[in-house]
Structure 1
Amino acid sequence: EVVSERNEHSASGELLSISMRRGVYPTSCSDRKDNSSEDKSNYKHLAVGDIAYNSMRMWQGACGLSSFDGIISPAYTVAIPSAATDGRFLIDLFKTTEMLNTFQRNSQGLTSDTWNLKYPAFSKIKCSIPSLHE
């Protein structure tokens, strides 16, 4: 009820990354080697205000609210907060111990190396949030 999935693909735009500590940031601002594929036709569009998360690391808090418009690896999931939802609140909520435990319980895979929280499972997770005014 509070987010929907953005599944738009784009090959053009600034390449963005996600980390647990920094959230969403331009890959060009990283000291890590860019190992993205040459062919970016399958990359996802990420808009300002979208929430992006690493499907393999959501249970560790690898998510962020985007301040950038660009593209992101297809390994990430992009969620659009509804007009009645504050994305900043969701990001803070998603990093609480209670929610991280919930994400871990809802991730699929045999070991922590393979746990994955795809959007269909993510979208069914229930949580309480205040009204936008609150």
Structure 2
Amino acid sequence: MANFHIYAWKQRKLGDCFSERAERPDKGELISVTINSGVIKSSDLDRKDNSSKDKSNYKKVEINDIAYNSMRMWQGASGVSAYSGILSPAYTVLIPNEGVSPLFFSYQFKLEKMLDLFRVNSQGLTSDTWNLKYPLIKNIEVFIPTLAEQQAIGEFFKQLDDTIAFHQRELEKYQQLKQVLLDQLFV
């Protein structure tokens, strides 16, 4: 990894880095946000479609937006979108401003210290009702490097994730092979 100059990182409010997407189209592919997989197509989820038939209140999401579950942000339910579509009104959609790498922030938003910041800045009496809408998240302060450093850091962690996913698939293949061989051996 490149030699980054953390002392040169600047403190910024998230509202200086992102604006909220307000468009509400009533048509588009349904997108979801998960804690483990980030932003995915709802059709890829292995669960029943509970979405409302009336999509007029649904929010637009575009490629490279960051979408998050307003009631689960403190648990890491966020991610950078690889899709254009629509999201439930329970989500918030952030548009990256110029000079902002959404991939960098998608990783920063998963850090334990960020999750703690999201938790303490959420409104609500209990964890079941904690909510972090844009007017609250925009005031949270973070340290960010230059755009070039953001991009390099984001790409580094994406390559690491891709390598982990590749080896996970290989591991699953070997586990399946082992099971087949065991089944054949002990007939």
Superposed pair shares fold, TM > 0.5: yes
User: Secondary structure at 1:133's aligned position in 2?
Assistant: helix
2:114 partner letter: M
User: Secondary structure at 1:59's aligned position in 2?
Assistant: helix
Out of 12, 18, 25, which is 1:3 matched to? 18
Q: CA deviation at 1:29?
A: 0.8
Structure 1 segments unaligned to the other structure (5+ residues): none
Partners of 2:42 and 2:78 in 1: CA distance: 15
2:51 partner letter: S
Q: CA deviation at 1:70?
A: 0.3
Residue aligning to 1:32: 47
Equivalent residue runs for 1:1-134 within 5 Å = 1-134=16-149
Q: Which has the larger radius of gyration?
A: 2
Partners of 1:42 and 1:104 in 2: CA distance: 26
Structure 2 segments unaligned to the other structure (5+ residues): 1-15, 150-187
Q: CA deviation at 1:52?
A: 0.3
TM-score by length of 2: 0.71
User: Once the two structures are superposed, what CA deviation does each residue of 1:112-133 show, in whole Å capped at 9, x if it has no partner?
Assistant: 1111001100000000011102
Partners of 2:57 and 2:126 in 1: CA distance: 27
Structure 1 runs (4+) deviating above 3 angstroms are none
Partners of 2:49 and 2:98 in 1: CA distance: 34
User: Once the two structures are superposed, what CA deviation does each residue of 1:37-96 show, in whole Å capped at 9, x if it has no partner?
Assistant: 111011111000000000000000000100000000011000001120100110100000
Aligned sequence identity (%):
56
User: Secondary structure at 2:143's aligned position in 1?
Assistant: coil
TM-score by length of 1: 0.98
Alpha-carbon RMSD: 0.6
2:136 partner letter: A
Larger helix share, 1 or 2: 2
